[in-house]
Amino acid sequence: MQVAVIAVGKVKERYWLEALREYEKRLSAYVELTMHEVLDEPVPERMSEADRQQALRREADRIEKLLRPRDGVIVLDIGGKQLSSDGWSQAYADLQAQGYGRLAFVIGGSCGVHDRLRKQATMRWSFGPITLPHQLARVVLLEQLYRGIRIMRGEPYHR
């Protein structure tokens, strides 16, 4: 299965990069993974709603350039469906069975994700009511993807 992670913002810190590389390595046995970073918009302390929406639109434009017509788009969204690891494993199996050319996971920036992307989503997935920094959200996503695949395949997961 082809999997793309499309995330707003750049990961710079060595410890996040090491964690991402570890899960990329683990996932390489199961999926063809590509990671994409798109430029994030500057977010001043005080930002009007109109400016926020404009920033979200620009980020969405960049994300959409990386999406393909046959993608199953999974948007990470605080308002999305919350799943246990077993529930995610079943959802992943269901997504695989739908015949998408690729699953594309979208992680927004500090302002979130534009409604246009939410409407395009095959699925909206929430890691819970907390807000995560985009770097940590990427690590959690890869870990849950790996865990879900292992559960689906009946393989042990203990790390």
Binding residue numbers for S-adenosyl-L-methionine: 76, 108, 127-132
154's torsion region: left (phi>0), alpha (psi -120 to 50) or beta? left
Annotated binding site: 76, 108, 127-132
CB neighbour class for 56 (10 Å; exposed up to 12, middle 13-18, buried from 19)? buried
Tracing tokens 């534009």 back to the chain, one arrives at 114
* Strands 2-8, 102-107: pairing kind: parallel
